[in-house]
Structure 1
Amino acid sequence: MGYFNNFTSRIPASFGHLTNLVRLDMANCGLLGSIPLELGNLGQLDTMFLMLNALEGPIPAQFGNLVSLKSLDLSYNNLTGVIPSTLIYLQKLELMSLMNNQLEGTIPDFLSDLANLEVLYLWKNKLTGTIPENLGQNLNLTLLDLSSNLLTGSIPKGLCAGQKLQWLILLENQLTGPIPESLGRCESLTKIRLGGNSLSGPIPLGLLSLPNVNMVEIQNNQVSGSIPSEIIDAPLLSYLDFSHNNLSSKLPESIGNLPGIMSFFIAGNHFSGSIPPQICDMPNLNKLDLSGNSFSDNIPPEIANCKKLGLLDMSHNSLTGSIPSQMEYIPDLYFLNLSHNQLSGPIPSQFANLQTLSIFDFSYNNLSGRIPLFDSYNVSVFEGNPLLCGGLLPQACPNATYGHRSKGMNSNLLSWLVGALFSAALMVLMAGMCCFFRKYRSQIYKYFHRESIIRPWKLTAFQRLDFSATEVLDCLDEDNIIGRGGAGTVYKGVMPSGEIVAVKRLAGEGKGASHDHGFSAEIQTLGKIRHRNIVRLLGCCSNHETNLLVYDYMPNGSLGEVLHSKDQSVSLDWDTRCNIAIQAAHGLCYLHHDCSPLIVHRDVKSNNILLDSTLHAHVADFGLAKLFQDTDKTESMSSIAGSYGYIAPEYAYTLKVNEKSDIYSFGVVLMELLTGKRPIEAEFGDGVDIVQWVRRKIQTKDGILDLLDPRMGVVGIPLQEVMLVLRVALLCSSDLPVDRPTMRDVVQMLADVKPKRKGSALGNSRELAELMGLKDDELHQVLVCV
């Protein structure tokens, strides 16, 4: 009866008459009300699964009569009260999962006496008191999760008495005291998650040499001392987080003896001395955060050996010397923070060649010289370095001078020659302009008076352009139209140099556009934006009546056209769709997090994600985007709120938009990529949009596979990746804005999709839950209840 049936009713008390029943599975059936006391009559029952419902009230004391019970799962309900003392009689119990309820009281001591208990999940309740001192003494405890409660006291020493404990998860409690030394001898451990408590004392010897451990989290505690250097040899350890503690001393060179490490976080401690070059003996290292310590000396050039490094944060230390130019050879580096140090010398010009580097910060050092030609940046990432110059910085780089007195004659001669050549060139130019005007006077007059517009055109260029306003106007021909929308009409333009551009003629003419100082200021700001996943605004042509925006041309049109057009000349397989999602997320993340003031797009949709010749995605259409610094300004922007099917539900009653509105719209775009459907389709039913349709599909037995676009070749795609992207889409399209992630979170979640690839089989729920960073049963909660 379990899973995805929707009874929306109570459990019949008459089920208590089924005295020979062995297995009761009504998981995820929409059950309401309290659990009938009569279920305590099922003396032959060995399995009871009632998780993922809306059951409420207490756990019946009569469950103590279920003496044959081996598996009890009541998780993801709204159960209240205490854990009944009568459960002491369930001596055959192997699994007890009561997680994600509203249970109160203490963890009963009798749980230590259940000889066969292997799995105990009590996380996310309101349990208080201490962890039973004898828990684990039954010698069979394997998986223990007590996180997100209000537990106090110390961690019992005997949790691994049976040497079978694999998961020890005690996150987000109020535990105090030291980490038991016995955990350093528990060779069965695979996950140690103790973050978010008030633990103190040293890191136990042996903790980083356990043969099976793959995750160690002790962040946000008060652990002190040093990282033990005597024994560091955990071959499977991939995730280590010691950040925000009181650890000190030097980072041991033996830290390089962790070959499997992918994420290494020690931010917010008191480490000092130099950064050991052996840190990059870890070949799989992807994220390295050393920020907020007291590291000194140079950045080791060996950092370039970290070929898989994507995130590097060394900010808020006392590093000196120059930035190693060898870092240009880290091919996948996307985040680099070296701010708040004492680094000197230039920023290596080769950094501009790092194609993946999209977030960086060099502020508050002693850097000097010309900044590299980065595609996009905010000037704040260079502030606090008064000797830096060039680019968008207010300090211009000094020109070369000829200051030696012994060469005064050569200098004077050179100056005279330059002046003479300039004068001659100016005279030739003026003569040529006169001839040109006489020859093409009628055409020029026609262009400048086209459509009864009598004021002159002004071309504002945001980079060096090889065309003029006249040549832009020449593109405004009906035969050149490639798109129409609420923002205006788009024309394809071929310049005399052969360059192809897109010219957007904004709607709303005849309103004195050139005197709209707010518009002019906005366009000036947008023109400075440079990011590889944002369509580049090349310039703006304007006069009293009309505004023309000139963009880079995208030959493959919009994502919406490719997905929904009957012309299937452009095929989007899964890898391409996944890349488009990641690239578009990077573009929006830049607008939300790296522009000051931040930019809300306001019209995120598949038609505003354009594809270049290699099908790389670029976020487009800032004709409707507005800049704002506080929520008061959003109130005046309510005249335009996006496109039908993409509009966040809260707009209906707030008439305001912010970055969370963009994130909802992006969730809709992700669903378009997964399903190939438009946001509104007749097949969804009256009043049903793609978000509601996807949620309903997930609730059916084969719904997840059924909703995927068959044009992707569903048989061969890695379903783990699909599920991860679907999860992001559901989170982004949450009804409440507070439940939606930030675009920075979205980028991180999508970036984690590809490295997780393991094949095309879906795998079991536990494997998939781990891939998604969820606990076992939380997978269903995310996919069904978001």
Structure 2
Amino acid sequence: MSKPTPPSLQIHLHTLFFLFLTFPFHATSQVNDSEQTTLLKLKQQWANPPSINHWNSSSNHCSWPEINCTNGYVTSLKLTAKNITETIPPSICDLKNLTLIELQQNFIPGPFPKVLYNCAKLRYLDVSENYFVGHIPDDIDLLSPQLYYLSLSFNNFSGDIPPAIGRLLGLQTLKLDANMFNGSIPQEIGSLSNLEILVMENNSFVPSTIPLSFTKLKKLRELWMREMNLIGEIPENIGSLTALEVLDLSINELSGNIPSGVFLLKNLSTLYLFKNRLSGSIPLSVEALNLTAIDLSANNLNGTIPDDFGKLTKLAGLSLFFNQLSGAIPASIGRLPELTDFRVFTNNLSGELPPDFGLYSKLEGFQVATNGFTGVLPKNLCAHGVLLGVVAFDNNLSGELPKSLGNCQSLLIVRIHGNRFSGEIPDGLWTLLNLTVLMISDNSFSGKLPGRVGTNLSLVEISDNQFSGEIPPEISSWETLTVFKASNNLFSGTIPQELTALPHLTTVLLDRNRLSGNFPSNLISWKSLSTLNLSGNQLSGPIPAEIGFLLVLTELDLSENEFSGQIPPAIGDLRLTWLNFSSNRFTGRIPSEFENSAFDSSFLNNPGLCASKPSLGLNICNSKTRNSSKFSSQFIVVVSSISAVLFVIAMTLTLFVVRGFQKRKIGLDSMWKLTSFQRLNFTASNISSGLTESNAIGSGGSGKVYRVPINYSGDYVAVKRIWNDKKLDQKLEKEFLAEVEVLSTIRHANIVKLMCCISSDNSKLLVYEYLENRSLDRWLHGKRRPSSVSGSVHHVVLDWPTRLQIAVGAARGLCYMHHDCSPPIVHRDVKSSNVLLDSEFNAKIADFGLARILVKHGEPNTVSSVAGSFGYIAPEYAHTSRVNEKIDVYSFGVILLELVTGKEANDGDETTSLAEWAWHHVQKSNPIEDALDKDIMEPCYLDEMSNVFKLGIICTGTFPSTRPTMKEVLQILFRCNNPMAFREKNIGREYDAAPLLNNSKRERMVEHEDDGFTSIV
């Protein structure tokens, strides 16, 4: 018989048993509390970004959307695009069970985060699209051996990729693209036997061949090596990568033949080899029947298009343009059932186009320009109703256009100029609702202009045809028209007044027709017109004085007509780059602005014209010399006649040269040196052919800017062409190189993207992304112009939330330049015209022609001359030429004042600039709201606008030391909607603008001894 257990022991055992049963619960609870504490600490160390304000101690952290828990433990941290601006703290690895970290699309600075070595269970790491800089550490293999996904894309890592990365043997995905690597490609990557996806594109490695070790990656499904400075030949045994589905080796310097093994990869679906130096013919045998996209464009390939391509039943896109291919297109390609995009332009192809194109597949793009095709256009191109563009210019195509195009409602672009088409345009084509571009010049089309066109038609080029009749008065309904080129046709009658009612017109070419009557009056709606050519008609009468109100007009040609009377003096106020009034009946004095050698051939064969100086070969404007200059006038007539003959000969030769240039296909590209910094879907000749006056959208001291279309889908790029003035060659060369040097190294959402630079012997081009809403100054200050240009789309008043969004975006761009670039960059010409806006009014800093990478500490930081624009120049810069970030802060402060007041930078009432005016306004104790833009001021925005006005005043302080940094400016803008005292305590510094407003002296300062920071008090 056992002894009974003592009561005290029973209680003790019960207690132990209870503790034993409940221990896991308490342990888990304690861990949960600890992990929540860690997460809240992370939030604090990241400066409490508003995007995770819901992280608080009163809620369960496992319920936060950025956190995933397994069995109560944090295993996943997803913080994509949360506006994190601080480094990754070591405490992140206090989350011991963390397997996944996503921190992409933030603003995290600093070197590679070695603190992540302590996350022992990490399997998935994505820190792409941040501001990381420096080298990837040589001991990167200290990351968790369980890591299978690593993405460092879209940062600023540089130098070599360390061989140690080849020891992360668990990796299945490795993404290193879009950085600044400038070293070598390690062979050790070939040791990653589990690798399935390798992305290394868009890096400037030293010239390297494709590592042979890569052919050992038997599990590799995707290989992306675009734009990596690859040289040499594609390895012949690349066909051993039997799992390969995607191969992209484009935009490199690869040479030699395309290995036949490429087309034997049975799993291959995407093949991109465009823009290399590959030669020879395309392999004839094709077994990669899964191919959906082939792009071999911009190489030196010759021979014919293989018939086997017609067996690729899954092929959706075939791009072979810019090669030297010859022969006919295999008819079977026209019958491919999945083909949507077909591009073979600029080759030596010939024969008739296969008639089945579009009949068996939903064809969207058809580009066969600049070849030697004959016959007619296929009539079934739009059989499925999804065709976007027909690009077939510069061939020998003939016959009439297929009537089916007139019913193709999806059609955006038709470019068939430079052929031998005839007959009338199908009626429905003019009125297609989506048609934007119609370019049919240099054919033999006939007929009359329609009274009505589609509501989106913006560019019409019908020159060098046989169109006749009058220009219909219904042309006033062509409301979206921007370019109208109708030179060398048979149009008669008068120029209808209704043509001048089109507000978006930038180019009107009606030269060499049979037009008569007077110059149209009431030109007030032509506020966007930059080019007007009416030469070679029978127009008569005086020129209306309103022509002087066409403020953006740069080219004007009224020669070879019967115009009479005086030349309106107001024309002298225009900034014309081309002017021709010759061979008319003008009388009187020419405007004095034209009395210089730039216009020495602009007034010939107008016996009644005179000038105050003899430099133009005109009569002197006084009676004595008029009578004594009869012999001189006769001499001028003879010289003018000879000049006219020489001019005709020169123009004829030029025409042949231009035609020959257009027909010289591959030779055209060889004239240009193209250096790309982004993925490109265009070539140098695409850009050069678009540098026409009809595409010009602006000009400045160093060049003209064009909007150039690059494909049939309506995509554009902005091209800045440096002026070719020999007196400025050295200066402009310096500006060109400065802009390329700076922009080619920058990748930021708020800095305009430089896509490439293009050089030839006599031209230098910078190609940028095109931003639809152009520059900020057009939106803010368009309404300040004379009434003759009011009402344009860019005069719509921006509301305050949009202006604040623009301020934040521009501040982000400058903040990146000053604080996250290594070395830092100062812009030197920050102004509202250099703040560009995309379709969503996101701001991007542009025009780095004056930018300068700051010198190292201790070196002289002055420049030889002061750059910038009046109203934006910091006082110390004007006097000492000292260059540092604070001159940009001053200029940005002026932009803030523009945003809140609506005034221009040089608009300061009785004072000299907006900044001075704002300071005087405050010194006089005037209410801030009296300075704000009345067009947008609403009670709910008053505090925000007042705070930004105060910030603008602080930024434009006389002394550089009184101005905040751009990092502080950005933080203040984030919090400017706080109606309390306008105070910013970021990064250990205090800003209080309230005392400033009661201060009678702008320059009173006090030095904060704790951090050496000077602020106005």
What is the TM-score when the length of structure 1 is the normalising length?
0.56
1:396 is matched with 620
Looking at structure 1, the residues matched to 723 and 503 of structure 2 have their Cα atoms a distance apart, in angstroms, of: 33
Q: C-alpha displacement at 1:716, in angstroms? A: 3.9
Looking at structure 1, the residues matched to 775 and 316 of structure 2 have their Cα atoms a distance apart, in angstroms, of: 33
In structure 2, the gaps of 5 or more residues are: 1-223, 625-697, 707-720, 777-834, 840-1017
1:182 is matched with 404
Segment drifting more, 390-399 vs 342-351? 390-399
Q: Given the alignment of the two structures, is residue 48 of structure 1 paired with residue 173 of structure 2, yes or no? A: no
Q: Given the alignment of the two structures, is residue 366 of structure 1 paired with residue 585 of structure 2, yes or no? A: yes
Q: C-alpha displacement at 1:144, in angstroms? A: 0.8
**Distance of aligned partners of 1:668 and 1:213 in 2 relative to their CA distance in 1, 3 Å threshold:** farther
Alignment check: 8 A CA contact 1:191 1:216 kept? yes
**Distance of aligned partners of 1:240 and 1:73 in 2 relative to their CA distance in 1, 3 Å threshold:** same
What pairs with 1:608-757 in structure 2 (closer than 5 Å)?
666-675=732-741, 704-706=744-746, 716-719=750-753, 722-723=754-755, 727=757, 730-731=758-759, 734=760, 737=761, 740-741=762-763
Looking at structure 1, the residues matched to 417 and 476 of structure 2 have their Cα atoms a distance apart, in angstroms, of: 24
Looking at structure 1, the residues matched to 464 and 293 of structure 2 have their Cα atoms a distance apart, in angstroms, of: 39
2:608 is matched with 387
Amino acid at match of 2:566: P
Q: C-alpha displacement at 1:14, in angstroms? A: 1.4
Q: C-alpha displacement at 1:247, in angstroms? A: 1.3
Amino acid at match of 1:46: S
Q: Given the alignment of the two structures, is residue 4 of structure 1 paired with residue 70 of structure 2, yes or no? A: no
Alignment check: 8 A CA contact 1:257 1:281 kept? no
What pairs with 1:152-231 in structure 2 (closer than 5 Å)?
152-229=374-451
Q: C-alpha displacement at 1:39, in angstroms? A: 1.9
Q: Given the alignment of the two structures, is residue 147 of structure 1 paired with residue 369 of structure 2, yes or no? A: yes
**Distance of aligned partners of 1:90 and 1:674 in 2 relative to their CA distance in 1, 3 Å threshold:** closer
What pairs with 1:284-433 in structure 2 (closer than 5 Å)?
284-354=504-574, 356-375=575-594, 376=596, 377-392=598-613, 393-398=617-622
Over the matched positions of the two proteins, sequence identity in percent amounts to 31
**Distance of aligned partners of 1:214 and 1:591 in 2 relative to their CA distance in 1, 3 Å threshold:** closer
Q: C-alpha displacement at 1:603, in angstroms? A: 6.2
What pairs with 1:222-261 in structure 2 (closer than 5 Å)?
222-229=444-451, 232-261=452-481
Looking at structure 2, the residues matched to 17 and 323 of structure 1 have their Cα atoms a distance apart, in angstroms, of: 75
Within the candidate set 339, 343, 352, 1:117 is matched to 339
Within the candidate set 701, 722, 726, 1:580 is matched to 701
1:539 is matched with none
**Distance of aligned partners of 1:671 and 1:144 in 2 relative to their CA distance in 1, 3 Å threshold:** same
What pairs with 1:489-500 in structure 2 (closer than 5 Å)?
none
Q: C-alpha displacement at 1:761, in angstroms? A: 8.5
Alignment check: 8 A CA contact 2:702 2:723 kept? no
1:89 is matched with 311
SS in 2 for 1:237: coil
**Distance of aligned partners of 1:222 and 1:667 in 2 relative to their CA distance in 1, 3 Å threshold:** farther
**Distance of aligned partners of 1:87 and 1:143 in 2 relative to their CA distance in 1, 3 Å threshold:** same
In structure 1, the gaps of 5 or more residues are: 401-576, 593-599, 607-665, 677-702, 709-713, 764-786
Q: C-alpha displacement at 1:139, in angstroms? A: 4.0
**Distance of aligned partners of 1:43 and 1:716 in 2 relative to their CA distance in 1, 3 Å threshold:** closer
Q: Given the alignment of the two structures, is residue 62 of structure 1 paired with residue 285 of structure 2, yes or no? A: yes
Alignment check: 8 A CA contact 1:367 1:385 kept? yes
Q: Given the alignment of the two structures, is residue 32 of structure 1 paired with residue 66 of structure 2, yes or no? A: no
1:18 is matched with 241
Larger RCO: 1 or 2 (CA < 8 Å, sep 6+): 1
Looking at structure 2, the residues matched to 329 and 761 of structure 1 have their Cα atoms a distance apart, in angstroms, of: 27
Alignment check: 8 A CA contact 1:139 1:164 kept? no
Amino acid at match of 1:287: T
SS in 1 for 2:261: helix
Q: C-alpha displacement at 1:760, in angstroms? A: 5.9
Q: Which has the larger radius of gyration?
A: 2
Q: C-alpha displacement at 1:138, in angstroms? A: 1.7
Aligned residues: 466
Amino acid at match of 2:744: I
Looking at structure 2, the residues matched to 337 and 149 of structure 1 have their Cα atoms a distance apart, in angstroms, of: 34
Alignment check: 8 A CA contact 1:368 1:385 kept? yes
Deviations 1:38-79 (A, max 9, x none): 22321111111111111111111222x111111111111111
SS in 2 for 1:135: coil
1:777 is matched with none
Looking at structure 1, the residues matched to 738 and 311 of structure 2 have their Cα atoms a distance apart, in angstroms, of: 53
**Distance of aligned partners of 1:762 and 1:54 in 2 relative to their CA distance in 1, 3 Å threshold:** farther
Alignment check: 8 A CA contact 1:197 1:221 kept? yes
Q: C-alpha displacement at 1:206, in angstroms? A: 1.9
Alignment check: 8 A CA contact 2:556 2:579 kept? yes
Looking at structure 2, the residues matched to 97 and 328 of structure 1 have their Cα atoms a distance apart, in angstroms, of: 49
What is the TM-score when the length of structure 2 is the normalising length?
0.43
**Distance of aligned partners of 1:79 and 1:583 in 2 relative to their CA distance in 1, 3 Å threshold:** closer
Amino acid at match of 2:729: V
Looking at structure 1, the residues matched to 405 and 318 of structure 2 have their Cα atoms a distance apart, in angstroms, of: 23
Q: Which has the higher strand share?
A: 2
Amino acid at match of 2:329: I
Amino acid at match of 1:270: L
Deviations 1:596-647 (A, max 9, x none): xxxx7366222xxxxxxxxxxxxxxxxxxxxxxxxxxxxxxxxxxxxxxxxx
Instruction: Note the aligned Cα RMSD (angstroms).
Output: 3.1
**Distance of aligned partners of 1:219 and 1:332 in 2 relative to their CA distance in 1, 3 Å threshold:** same
Q: Given the alignment of the two structures, is residue 604 of structure 1 paired with residue 729 of structure 2, yes or no? A: yes
Alignment check: 8 A CA contact 1:17 1:41 kept? no
Deviations 1:265-319 (A, max 9, x none): 0011111110111112221101111111111000110334211111111111110
Q: C-alpha displacement at 1:668, in angstroms? A: 4.5
